[in-house]
A and B are shown apart, each in its own frame.
Chain A
């Protein structure tokens, strides 16, 4: 188990971030949603901690705790007053060491229902909530680790048992597959000593092997899907296959998408919202992924009276023009200034810093990357961005359209 300590005495608290190197990309066919469902089980009690006690106990001493599951990882985090740091570490160690032996069918049955309610609340019962599932299916072929969403299918979630969960934990929840970062009012000596005290006795095991990820080329045949739904406005979303996160080309596309679709001065907002007045809002962004490819996204909501075909035509013009011309000097300057402010702003929070250290240690084996990332971002030039923009040409898009149900 790797341990990272970053002392910062600005407030009398410590942020703990544990990353397990397992996510939805590690799920097998018929098991979609399991990594996330099993994350819920981590709060259902272990040898010395009762169901719900992990969260409840930390809250009752002024801490907070939660967890999230993503494509590439599952992370568990706590922010606690320094006086509760040892208790938090002890509870994390207890569930890492003993959880598989304390799972119950009753506990998993309840959490299956909770997760299905989560799916209804966040995906099925809100406008455009199912977009991510369709975009993933457009971008990745069947059987690809990123073809399915993190939340998974209701049927697969229903099929999970306590025995299956125990096997999953025994395979993936191992010290060698985990990174823990402590950031806050704690010295390195204290942090390393406490990690040793609470986690040191857990038996070592080899980190599970994962097949190397193939890198797929950009989309070529413009896959598309039209959905007729009870949405308030027609909308279009483009998806692009990108290189793996944090590579120079990926960073360049991220910068391009910021110039195109982030904020009132962005090109898409200026063109589609301000000048042509055909869109109520545009957005551009990335899904940063480590397994062979990342994703780029561009979306626009149509104003009434503007058919999606017109909106798409105008959107495509903006993409093509940027790929031809590259950024203006002012755009390049502003996007770098923005990246710098965002990066420094995020690192000003100790929770984010703890998360970043665990992230770079888990995915790149190098927590020091946190200290080099800003220089990498700021070293990009106009040629990098022009090259990145080639990946966002309309020929490389997948298209998801939402059409209002009552449009006939």
Chain B
């Protein structure tokens, strides 16, 4: 057997800066030239925070986006999707609290035609009554599916527990069934007309382009030309007092557990500290939580911890699911581990976290699709394309003390969310000193 080889340090790597332009419509464009990436990716981050939704119509932003590819004036019905597919393309996207992200992938030689189609959808999606009504019925079914999945149900309960109710981010992204039912087709069209506009939006493209995408976009006779309109205001949510919630899911064979606090956004100076701390607590395979709860005790398939940044603030949470008969003991163990007052993070833990982040970084932007997804998410959260490189730099400044201090400050009194069979879980939790509010 050969002897154990030494590891050579990772080669320095930086995410290259994009080429930038602002079109005459006000649309900002970022181009990442990626040699060898023949399937190009395009994404547009549209500045439509969900706090723009009227209070009784949660779910309007997500519903509006879902109808955007249901046909345009030029390509009615499924004609629009078929036109994209004819180019070898596909459509995706995501709608989050901070905004909508429209996505399209096409072979790079078809980029010019894809720009024309995307422009058409953004300007002239039909948003017909029948399409809106059909999407509503499907969305209500989706909402019920989401509520039936215990991990998703737990995440909804966590938001509600951590964020004050006057903020949109405390409430389900897709809205409730009743709220979606109340949305009218004219609400959808008004949301699009008021807020889908080129000024404030950013188009990101990446690939091996035979022709400069900026030149193609400048040449295009653009239909997506709405006026800038009023300034878009993003909410800055505030934290609720700590809570303990048991969501009753009769018959569950596991307890889905989230244990967390209000966390940090990417603009916070402690963002690298909390990233390192979470990696040491619940990111690495032998992180504190996974080592004990999975590898030593066999209580769970996996225990994790992360800080999930919002545009303002974040959700800092440990997560795992445990079989019912060990759930209370596992939760007590989790609580003990998250309380780091007696066991601050060590230099070895910080080094492992930083080396992981630095070494893994190039792989996260390998394909045009990964790059555009990551960039659109950052832009949607209000960050600039230089953020990933600055974050990498900040990681090297993290010390055991700074990671410990940030983590301890943010986890003084976490909230506990448990989704599971209350008949099996409530008594053991109470015996352990928890006082859960049981909801169904």
> Which residues of A approach B to under 8 Å, CB–CB?
10-13, 43, 47-48, 51-53, 55-56, 59-64, 79-84, 86-87, 90, 93-94, 97, 109-118, 120-122, 124-127, 197-198, 201, 230-233, 263-265, 270, 273-274, 277, 280-281, 301, 303-304, 330, 333-334, 337-338, 340-341, 344-345, 348-350
Question: Which residues of chain B are within 8 angstroms of A340 by Cβ–Cβ distance?
Answer: 88
Which residues does chain A contribute within 8 Å of B82, judged by CB atoms? 265, 330, 334
Whether the pair B36, A10 counts as a contact (CB closer than 8 A) is: yes
* B363→A13 contact, CB < 8 A: yes
Closest CB-CB distance, A245 to chain B, in whole Å?
A: 23
A106 → B minimal CB distance (Å): 10
Supposing A83-B9, A118-B301 touch, asked if A63 and B366 sit within 8 A by C-beta, the answer is: no
A97 cross-chain contacts in B, Cβ below 8 A: 1
Partner of B366, one of A11, A338, A344: A11
Q: How many A-B residue pairs have CB under 8 A?
A: 215
CB neighbours (8 Å) of A263 from chain B are 81, 85, 90
> Cβ of B78 and Cβ of A280 under 8 Å apart?
no
Task: Give the Cβ gap from A307 to chain B, nearest Cβ, in Å.
Answer: 16
- Residues on A with C-beta less than 8 A from B294 are 114
Known contacts: A301-B141, A337-B88. The answer to whether A124 contacts B253 by CB under 8 A is yes
Give B residues with C-beta under 8 Å from A: 1-2, 4-11, 13, 35-39, 69-70, 77-78, 81-82, 85-90, 105-107, 134, 137-138, 141-142, 144-145, 147-150, 251-254, 256, 284-286, 291, 294-301, 321-323, 351-352, 355-363, 366-369
Please indicate the chain B residues that have their CB under 8 angstroms from the CB of A90 in the complex.
2, 4-5
| Shortest CB distance B229–A (Å) | 30
Residue of A with least CB distance to B5: A86
Roughly how many angstroms separate A333 CA and B413 CA in the complex, as a whole number? 59
Are B137 and A125 within 8 A (Cβ)? no
Contacts of B39 in A (CB 8 A): 341, 344-345, 348
Q: Is B298 a contact of A112 with CB atoms below 8 Å? A: yes
Docked-complex contact B355 and A61, CB < 8 angstroms:
yes
CA of A112 to CA of B323, assembled, Å = 13
Residue of A nearest to B139 (CB): A280
B285 near A125 with CB under 8 A, answer no
Q: Output the residue of B78, B85, B363 with the most chain A CB within 10 A.
A: B363
A233 to B86, CA, bound (A): 34
Given contacts A118-B301, A338-B90, contact A79 B321 (CB under 8 A): no
User: Are A79 and B2 touching (Cβ within 8 A)?
Assistant: no
Q: How far is the CB of A38 from chain B (nearest CB, A)?
A: 16
B148 in complex: contacting residue of A10, A13, A127, CB < 8 Å: A127
| Most central of B286, B291, B322 by chain A CB within 10 Å | B286
Q: A11 CA to B14 CA in the complex, in Å?
A: 11
Q: Could you tell me the dominant secondary structure of chain A's interface residues?
A: helix
Contact A231 B253 (CB under 8 A): no
B363 & A11 in contact (Cβ 8 Å cutoff): yes
Residue of B nearest to A231 (CB): B148
CA A265 to CA B361, docked complex, whole Å = 37
Who on chain B is nearest to A63 by CB? B359
Bound CA–CA A165/B291 (angstroms): 23
B300 near A114 with CB under 8 A, answer yes
Chain B residues, CB < 8 A from A233? 141, 144-145
Q: Is B88 touching A338 in the complex (CB atoms < 8 A)?
A: yes
Shortest C-beta distance, B307 to chain A (Å), equals: 18
* Chain B residues within an 8 Å CB radius of A265: 78, 81-82, 85
Q: List residues of chain A with CB within 8 A of the CB of B141.
A: 232-233, 280-281, 301, 303-304
- Cβ of B322: which chain A residues have Cβ within 8 Å of it? 117
Contacts A52-B295, A87-B6, A348-B39 aside, 13 further interface pairs with beta carbons under 8 A come to: A12-B11, A47-B1, A56-B286, A59-B352, A61-B359, A90-B2, A110-B295, A117-B322, A231-B148, A232-B147, A265-B81, A337-B86, A341-B89
User: Within 8 Å CB of B251, what residues of A?
Assistant: 230
**A60 touching B2 by the CB < 8 A rule?**
no
Sort A-B residue pairs by CB-CB distance and give the 6 closest, nearest first: A62-B359, A113-B298, A83-B8, A280-B141, A86-B5, A55-B285
CB closest residue in chain A, given B291: A52
Min C-beta distance of A186 to chain B, whole Å: 13
B250 to chain A, nearest CB (A): 8
CA A109 to CA B295, docked complex, whole Å: 11
- The distance from the CB of A328 to the nearest CB of chain B, in whole angstroms, is 11
Which residues does chain A contribute within 8 Å of B362, judged by CB atoms? Answer: 11-13, 81
A55, B298: Cβ atoms closer than 8 Å: no
A48 to B285, CA, bound (A): 19
